[in-house]
Every structure is written in C-alpha cells, then in structure tokens.
Amino acid sequence: MKFLIATHNQKKKQELQRILLPLGIEIKTADDLNINLSEVDETGTTFEENALLKAKSGCEESGLPTIADDSGLCVDSLGGAPGVYSARYAGEHGNDDKNITKLLEALKDVDEKDRTARFVCAACCAFPDGTQITVRGECEGIIAFERKGNGGFGYDPVFLVGDNSFGEISADEKDKISHRSKALGALADELRRKI
C-alpha cells in the first residue's frame, strides 16, 4: 500500500522509512510523486493539532493516505518551551544551530537537576475516506550544558538520555528509544488493525 509522508525533512523521512518499512507500506514523499503540496500553517496549539493539519492537507491534495508528524522539545524549567515552536524557536524556521544556541542561553543559569525535558512526537495518518489515526510518543531526558556529538538533527546534540546525547548515538540506537519511534510504533499498531 502506498502512503505519502508529508515532510520535506530528508533526515525525518529516513527515520520514518526505517520504522514503517516493516509494515510493507511503500513510503513516498511529494517529491517522489512529482506533486506540490501546499505549505500548511501550523496554527495548532498542540503537536496533535499540527500533525492532523498536515496529514489532512497532504491526503486531500494527493488522494493517498498521508502520515505527518509534529514534534518538538519541551523543557520543564521553561514552562514547556520551545514546544510547538521548536523548529522556529530562534525566529528562523529550521535553523538548528540558532535554536540550540537560544536554548542553551535560556538555560545557562539552570542547575543540572532542573534541566529535565522531553521530546514529544504526535503522528497522524489521514485517509481518503476521512478517517484518521493520531498517536503520541515521548522520550524523557535532560538538556546538556553544551553540544555533544554531530549526529541526528534539531536539538539532538543537547538532549541527553543517560550519558549520551541523541547526537552521539547511532540511528538504530535512537530508533529504539526516541519519541518518534514510540509514536510511529503506536501508529504502526493502529495501522495493522486498519489495513
């Protein structure tokens, strides 16, 4: 079965493919299908609302079941910020370096014990028949005092789980514990019941 993944982020696409491929789902992007998807205004106040907006839009425009996610970092001492604004925390959408710099600056006087955070991922699949599935996954960690590792993307170099950041572990290791893998695992369970 062919599904559209509503993302332009190639690293996210690769991560989604690794997790969903065992279901026998043929994963395509808009580029793969030579279609232009409209940019969706992420006006939701929750990850779930934003994921649904993107999935519904992609499904309506492509005619294919569409998977979209919205994810971000929630830092307890910052009242849950950057939250749904994670990708544009420093003002420029998708500038990982500026976002990390702003985050580290905001936490510069915060003790290690108070640097708790979680990555959150809401994943949604919208179907042409109007049905939808929405799930959520979380991964608890703490924010490092400085970047560690060059792997991953987004806030991975400053998000510590145990002694290592997401920027230091392999993709396989990350897939076992990440918020996205938990959400997509839950989505896969729901999809098995539907398809």
Mean pLDDT to the nearest integer, 131-148: 97
User: Tens of pLDDT along 1-45?
Assistant: 889 998 877 777 777 777 778 878 888 889 888 999 998 999 999
Whichever domain contains 164, its CATH number is 3.90.950.10
Q: Which domain covers residue 109, as residue numbers?
A: 2-194
The DSSP string of the chain is -EEEE----HHHHHHHHHHHGGGT-EEE-TTTTT--PPPPP---SSHHHHHHHHHHHHHHHHSS-EEEEEEEEEEGGGTT-BGGGGGGTTSSTT-HHHHHHHHHHHTTT--GGG-EEEEEEEEEEE-TTS-EEEEEEEEEEEE-SS---S-SSTTGGGEEETTEETTTS-HHHHHHH-HHHHHHHHHHHHHHHH-
Model pTM above 0.85? yes
Active site residues: 70
Domain count for the chain, please give it.
Answer: 1
State percent of the chain over pLDDT 70. Answer: 100
Identify the pLDDT of residue 45: 95
User: Tens of pLDDT along 34-90?
Assistant: 999 998 999 999 999 999 999 999 999 999 999 999 999 999 999 999 999 999 999
